[in-house]
Amino acid sequence: MKREPIILSIETSCDETAAAVTLGRQILSNVVWSQIAIHRPWGGVVPSLAKRAHQEHIDEVVNTAIKPVNWQKIDAVAVTAGPGLAIALEVGIKKAKEIAEKYKKPLIAVDHMEGHLLSSLAKNFKFHPANGGANFKLEFPALGLLVSGGHTELVLVKEIGQYQILGQTLDDAAGEAFDKVAKMLGLGYPGGPIISQLAEGGDEAKFDLPVPMVRSQSLNFSFSGLKTACLYKLKEIPHKRRDEQFIKDFAASFQSALVQSIVLKLKKAIERYHPQQVLLGGGVINNLALLQQIKQVARQYQVSVLVPYSKKLLTDNAAMIGVAAYYKFKRKEFVKNINKLDRKPNLSLEEYLFL
Ligand code: KG4
Ligand code: ZN
């Protein structure tokens, strides 16, 4: 094949119904139907509602994504196999199998976290300057820092496809902690963007909250202690005394403790593993305080940082699945028996997903 492969990717692991078409690492379309409004009244993702919404929207999302090309031009179909909500993953897998069989295309199973990990390698129609333009080269070992609503992970990238998880959360993910603390403060869902905006006008030194895992040598994360500390602190202050400035100060103090703990682990991982580059992914990277501190650490250690070129690539989307699928396509890692491909809700990046 003279040109790079064209891949249709489908992602339904959580609460976004998504499909994308990529040409190599270049994004031709990236369609996301967000279910946030459906889950908002419940303050979190309700799996049965997610499944139904995926079923209702998957066809229109895929049909919109395919528009820049046509079915025959596609070289492969890719789909998120896990990790994620089992009944949500199922919807995307079923659709991908149908398309692969109907148009006789190979199928590629992708790990959702590999999508987040490689999301910064996606290109738009121009070369993304942060990716070094046409001469961009990923250097190994690289270090992935993935911070999302479902996961918080530090990953050593020995090569693309060869990963070692250096640390992960022992309880809540960072995004989940943002969402839960927002709930305690009576703010909306998802809480991350709301807290980060409020924090801009707040004083982070106002409340003394513990920085999680500050003394631990491990590279794991834990946010439940911080969450409980927030709960107790809030119990001391009656609702009528919580004015706008109070909420801003509390948001800033919480955000600061959480960011410090992530940055601390990042520093430790850089000191231990000497990566050439840091790859960032996941919705919480939208948090400017976090991103600024990560960049500062990277400068200090003279490591380059790769961030996806658009915010849309940080939260769940199918274009990042397409980028991961592109490398699998090059390695010819296709699903051998389409009928056997099943959802893998607890898939880990260290597992070799080649079925
Ligand atoms: O990556 P993502 O779509 O979720 C998973 O794949 O799990 O990220 C969603 C998470 C939510 O928890 C949301 O609150 C958080 O990312 N988030 C933020 C910000 N924007 C989104 N957290 C903190 N600051 C933000 N600006
Ligand atoms: Zn995700």
Q: How far, in Å, is the centroid of ligand 2 from the Cα of 329?
A: 22
Can you tell me which atom of ligand 1 is nearest the CA of 288? 26
* d(C-alpha 50, C-alpha 211), whole Å: 34
At 135 the pLDDT is 60
Domains and CATH numbers, the chain: 6-132+311-340 (3.30.420.40), 142-306 (3.30.420.40)
Nearest CA to ligand 1 atom 3: 315
| Cβ-contact 229, 103 below 8 angstroms | no
Q: Which residue blocks in the chain are alpha helix, DSSP H?
A: 36-39, 47-65, 86-102, 112-118, 174-184, 191-199, 224-235, 244-273, 288-300, 319-330
At 354 the pLDDT is 64
**Which ligand is located closest to the Cα atom of residue 288?**
1
Ligand 1 residue neighbourhood (C-beta within 6 Å): 14, 148-150, 175, 178-179, 190-193, 196, 282-284, 286-287, 315-316
* d(C-alpha 14, C-alpha 86), whole Å: 9
Q: How far, in Å, is the centroid of ligand 1 from the Cα of 20?
A: 20
Binding residue numbers for substrate: 146-150, 179, 192, 287
At 214 the pLDDT is 86
Q: How far, in Å, is the centroid of ligand 1 from the Cα of 315?
A: 7
- Report the residue among 33, 148, 310 best suited for mutation to probe ligand 1: largest number of ligand atoms under 8 A from its CB: 148
Can you tell me which atom of ligand 1 is nearest the CA of 150? 7
Show pLDDT as tens, one digit a residue, over the chain (355 residues).
Answer: 689 999 999 999 999 999 999 999 999 999 999 999 999 888 888 999 999 999 999 999 999 999 999 999 999 999 999 999 999 999 999 999 999 999 999 999 999 999 999 999 998 766 555 555 556 678 999 999 999 999 999 999 999 999 999 999 999 999 999 999 999 999 988 999 999 999 999 999 999 999 998 888 999 999 999 999 999 999 998 888 899 999 999 999 999 999 999 999 999 999 999 999 999 999 999 999 999 999 999 999 999 999 998 999 999 999 999 999 999 999 999 999 998 899 999 999 998 776 6
Q: How far, in Å, is the centroid of ligand 2 from the Cα of 258?
A: 19
Q: How far, in Å, is the centroid of ligand 2 from the Cα of 315?
A: 6
**Which ligand is located closest to the Cα atom of residue 318?**
2
At 159 the pLDDT is 96
Tokens 């609460």 appear where? 15
Give ion ligand 2 contacts, CB < 5 A: 148, 316
At 240 the pLDDT is 85
Can you tell me which atom of ligand 1 is nearest the CA of 151? 7
* d(C-alpha 64, C-alpha 212), whole Å: 43
Can you tell me which atom of ligand 1 is nearest the CA of 282? 1
Could you write out the three-class secondary structure of 70-104?
CHHHCCEEEEEEECCCHHHHHHHHHHHHHHHHHCC
Written as one letter, the residue type at 353 is: L
**Which ligand is located closest to the Cα atom of residue 321?**
2
Binding residue numbers: 112, 116, 146-150, 179, 192, 287, 316
Strand ordering across the sheet containing 304-306: 162-168, 152-159, 142-147, 277-281, 304-306
Exposed/middle/buried for residue 350 (C-beta within 10 Å: 0-12, 13-18, 19+) = exposed
- Report the residue among 185, 315, 316 best suited for mutation to probe ligand 1: largest number of ligand atoms under 8 A from its CB: 315
Q: How far, in Å, is the centroid of ligand 2 from the Cα of 316?
A: 5
Q: How far, in Å, is the centroid of ligand 2 from the Cα of 269?
A: 22
